């Protein structure tokens, strides 16, 4: 699972003082598993592994306990990578989760060329600067999971993804102490890609 370094602990209470709704998280995990089906990550891992890692990063790293953020972490790729829609996410999990999923969903590129796709992705990543904090937390956890397998990807992809992470994601981590420290350590570990 995710290499979190520190911040591990037992069960946590939500920011409102209640406990995390494990049944609700189970429903989100099951919906994500259903929507992603047999999809695999570029590493060959089942897609659900990445989603569970993002959840683990949030709970064991910075200690996030907000139910909507945790549910959105499990569902963050369903609109982008499956036939699911934001409306379906909202119907099943409410408007707050749907909004967070919408913020972290990369829109389809207009046109099919590689340059159009890269430009659309850059615009999406720049837009995240205006996202609510909760959406940034989901994106930061998503990227923590993604960059841990960077050494298993082709060299040109590694360099491009490293640069993209430094340009767009690391600045989002600055106001979040745990993520700031984690990305600083990761940056040193992968400095050879600079």
Q: Is 134 designated active site? A: no
Write the CA distances from 180 to 72, 74, 146, integer angstroms. Answer: 21, 22, 16
Q: Does residue 66 sit in helix, strand or coil? A: coil
Distance (Å, whole) CA 8 – CA 72: 21
> Which helix (H) or strand (E) covers residue 8, if one does?
none
Going from the C-alpha of 5 to that of each of 12, 108, 192, the distances in angstroms are 18, 35, 21
Name the active-site residue from 15, 53, 80, 102. 80
Catalytic residue among 21, 38, 56, 81: 81
Contacts 24+ apart (CB under 8 A), 121-125: 121/164, 122/168, 125/164, 125/167, 125/168, 125/169
- The answer to whether residue 15 is catalytic is no
- Look up residue 130 and give its DSSP letter: G
Ordered DSSP codes for 162-182: HHHIIIIIHHHHTT-HHHHHH
Q: Which residues are catalytic?
A: 80-81
């Amino acid at each position: 699972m995710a290499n979190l370094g520190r911040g591990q602990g037992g069960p946590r209470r939500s920011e409102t003082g209640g406990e995390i709704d494990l049944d609700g998280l189970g429903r989100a995990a099951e919906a994500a598993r259903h929507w992603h089906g047999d999809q695999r990550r570029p590493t060959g891992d089942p897609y659900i592994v990445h989603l569970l890692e993002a959840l683990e990063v949030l709970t064991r790293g910075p200690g996030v306990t907000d139910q909507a953020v945790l549910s959105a972490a499990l569902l963050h790729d369903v609109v982008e990578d499956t036939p699911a829609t934001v409306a379906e996410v909202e119907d099943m999990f409410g408007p707050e989760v749907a909004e967070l999923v919408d913020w972290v969903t990369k829109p389809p590129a207009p046109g099919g060329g590689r340059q159009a796709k890269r430009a659309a992705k850059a615009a999406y990543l720049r837009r995240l600067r205006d996202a609510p904090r909760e959406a940034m937390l989901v994106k930061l956890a998503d990227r923590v999971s993604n960059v841990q397998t960077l050494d298993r990807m082709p060299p040109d992809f590694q360099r491009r993804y490293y640069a993209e992470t430094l340009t767009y994601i690391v600045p989002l981590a600055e106001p979040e102490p745990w993520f700031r420290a984690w990305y600083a350590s990761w940056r040193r570990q992968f400095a050879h890609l600079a």
